[in-house]
Structure 1
């Protein structure tokens, strides 16, 4: 029997197959209009059939999100179960996520037909909603491994000091997505909710909150004007992605009507998200593109004067993300994957073509200290919060010592959002975390199928 490899060459396309001995990859699935991604293939024992996940970036919580049963020859390709996570086959069972529960259901792997009802193995398992992947696996010898989820508890919004010690929480656990401190640090705006997020403004001293946005849309990536009077944000798309198609602003106290600043055509499939508002109030920085394909995400600037025609700021290979204006507005820190790994760079504003690399071993989500003398960023998948001493007072940008501020192992599972902010003096960090759920060890179950046979 000839062996084949099935894989996803990009995050937003069909699956491909290639002979294990080598050859030219060829599509093995076909994209339908309701889906934008096929991923997480899993071969079944006969080597002819496989499972895969199909989802839509523009509607990540859609009921159409599902696991499919397909064959290498293309003769079979049908929806098997609706699920927000991938599925695997082992020991005669299909393991998948239903709601938040990890379940097992007997299945004939050759026909893809279920033989009995499903049994709940655990009622709360960790799922990365942005990847449509649960944290679980199993072997053919009856060993099951999974991580308990945080769905029941929600996410925390907590203050940490420079040593990494948690000082306090802002509010009760909830579905927090992004967080932005106001310039005076008396308020914080958060994007929160599942499957559609709304914007809420918390007053930190009074410990009260006010809803800023309303309607059956997703509201995300809020940024403050530097005087604190306005909040700009994107509207549209799903809570776990960057598919917003409108940029709007509204008074931060909730009064008045929202103002439409820019409309982007959703039919192009492009993903957009706001990054920052310039200190002089004249420009909004946003990212636009499709991650991982072509030139990926580029950084664009929206002038808030004149004809308000957006223009590109940083383009090129890889994804350009998470742009932040320096406090004096002369520089922009951003993350780029142009080398194949996310690193932090700084470029002049307006652009001149010059740039300086800040991080050395990966980095993302940069934030400035109020005096512009230090840049903070999490290491890429390392659990480290790093700080780089920088100097932008002269014509050229200077990068000094980089040191680890503290380690954190329970940040929000999503790495696609602004999950933290820093106080102006750099002494406190406001972070979205999984709380105690993020520190729970993996759960190992041996001979897990024995109970199902009784």
Structure 2
């Protein structure tokens, strides 16, 4: 993978059965459609695009700003010819640049319209799941919310016209404003404890590195952590001294790392095994972390002392993901595998040595999607007293959007 490339995905063989197309996310100068060959590390970039591309009838189909385009392509010389021309509008694209599109050599083309990530609505609910109020209007492809310490703004990632940026949503007025505007992918924002800065991940240098920026939106963006691995900010300790993040190791999968927020410190591993560990959250006193791991064969919720060493304690009973603490540290929440929000009473020793958990109790159906999203993190926020929850609810599943079929499609002569 190139130094400015964040991911390779959506391969499709070309007619010779040896060469293939694939899509690369990353810095603007590296993003786009590529041709590779089996048994070789060499590749050729064809052009920039906001989605993957599919080959049919001597043309490549791809998307820009929600419009499906076709461009003439020679599958022998691997060269494009002429200018792209539109085929359809409002094609759905997911966070990884994958189009909701299928092609056939027999002629038909089928695609979905709308948002492949689904339409979402932020809703405050009580402990029974009863709706208290909506926050703003429904938003397409809005993910990974983080509530500001004063409760007045939600930082989130949003994909618009094929570009994923950080946005801010006002909880009182429901107004949505853009926070970043880089051409590369900006994801998973997290507020600093003082509310003055926001950390987030960005693929502007290739792999997703971690940055911070003033919450005013003014001033430069400062690089926090850079490495060849893709990283995601997870949480800050209440005193702001430590930042937790997950890193995708090509051999070990997701691991949990930490960085001291002040000084010229080096990141250090917190939980690093051959299993997947992710989405960690600091306890309010900063002496424990809750996280999810699949070491048992399915994802479960664990707690362990921070920074360690110390034993880990199993909290969930039948699988779960997306842990969150109540602000006093006496209750832990997570999403069960059936999609229900669970509550667990918990007692933590003062010196980070023992944890005693109660029986997990179901609260309500979360309606926030998968309990363990493939690459995303928590899709809900817990109010300080644990009596209210801001849920990033799915109001329109991508699978419910319309399917359009174009019969006997033929490119322009």
How would you bin the TM-score normalised by the shorter chain?
0.7 to 0.9
Q: 2:191 aligns with which of 195, 215, 223?
A: 223
The Cα of 1:287 is off from its aligned counterpart by 1.5
Between 1 and 2, higher relative CO (CA 8 Å, sep ≥ 6) is seen in 2
Q: How does 1:359-374 map to 2 (within 5 A)?
A: 359=316, 362-374=319-331
The Cα of 1:436 is off from its aligned counterpart by 3.6
Q: 1:387 aligns with which of 337, 342, 349?
A: 342
Report the equivalent of 1:286: 244
Report the equivalent of 1:322: 279
Report the equivalent of 2:21: 51
| Aligned equivalents of 1:79, 1:139: Cα separation in 2 | 24
Report the equivalent of 1:26: none
- Quick check: which one's strand share is greater? 2
Name stretches of at least 5 consecutive residues in structure 1 with no aligned partner.
1-30
Q: 2:68 aligns with which of 94, 98, 102?
A: 102
- Matching of residue 159 in structure 1 with residue 118 in structure 2: no
| Aligned equivalents of 2:6, 2:391: Cα separation in 1 | 31
TM-score when normalising by structure 1: 0.69
Q: Aligned-pair RMSD on alpha carbons? A: 4.6
- Matching of residue 336 in structure 1 with residue 302 in structure 2: no
Q: SS state of the match for residue 137, structure 1?
A: strand
The Cα of 1:41 is off from its aligned counterpart by 1.8
The Cα of 1:123 is off from its aligned counterpart by 1.0
Q: SS state of the match for residue 400, structure 1?
A: coil
Report the equivalent of 2:35: 69
Change (3 A) 1:258 1:400: farther
TM-score when normalising by structure 2: 0.75
Per-residue displacement from partner, 1:12-40 (whole Å, max 9, x unpaired)? xxxxxxxxxxxxxxxxxxx4444343332
The Cα of 1:190 is off from its aligned counterpart by 0.8
Q: How does 1:122-201 map to 2 (within 5 A)?
A: 122-129=88-95, 131-150=96-115, 156-160=121-125, 168-172=133-137, 173=139, 176-183=142-149, 186-192=151-157, 195=163, 197-198=165-166, 200=168
Report the equivalent of 2:199: 234
The Cα of 1:354 is off from its aligned counterpart by 0.9
Change (3 A) 1:378 1:152: closer
Change (3 A) 1:39 1:205: closer
| Aligned equivalents of 1:450, 1:209: Cα separation in 2 | 39
| Aligned equivalents of 1:357, 1:449: Cα separation in 2 | 56
The Cα of 1:240 is off from its aligned counterpart by 12
Change (3 A) 1:147 1:81: same
Change (3 A) 1:133 1:300: same
Report the equivalent of 1:38: 8
Q: SS state of the match for residue 170, structure 1?
A: strand
- Matching of residue 423 in structure 1 with residue 383 in structure 2: yes
Per-residue displacement from partner, 1:139-188 (whole Å, max 9, x unpaired)? 4444544332339998643435556666543234477454223456x423
Change (3 A) 1:340 1:285: farther
The Cα of 1:224 is off from its aligned counterpart by 4.6
Q: 2:258 aligns with which of 300, 304, 307?
A: 300
Report the equivalent of 2:367: 408
The Cα of 1:51 is off from its aligned counterpart by 1.5
Q: How does 1:205-224 map to 2 (within 5 A)?
A: 205=172, 221-224=189-192
More displaced stretch, 367-376 vs 216-225 = 216-225
Name stretches of at least 5 consecutive residues in structure 2 with no aligned partner.
none
| Aligned equivalents of 1:199, 1:258: Cα separation in 2 | 17
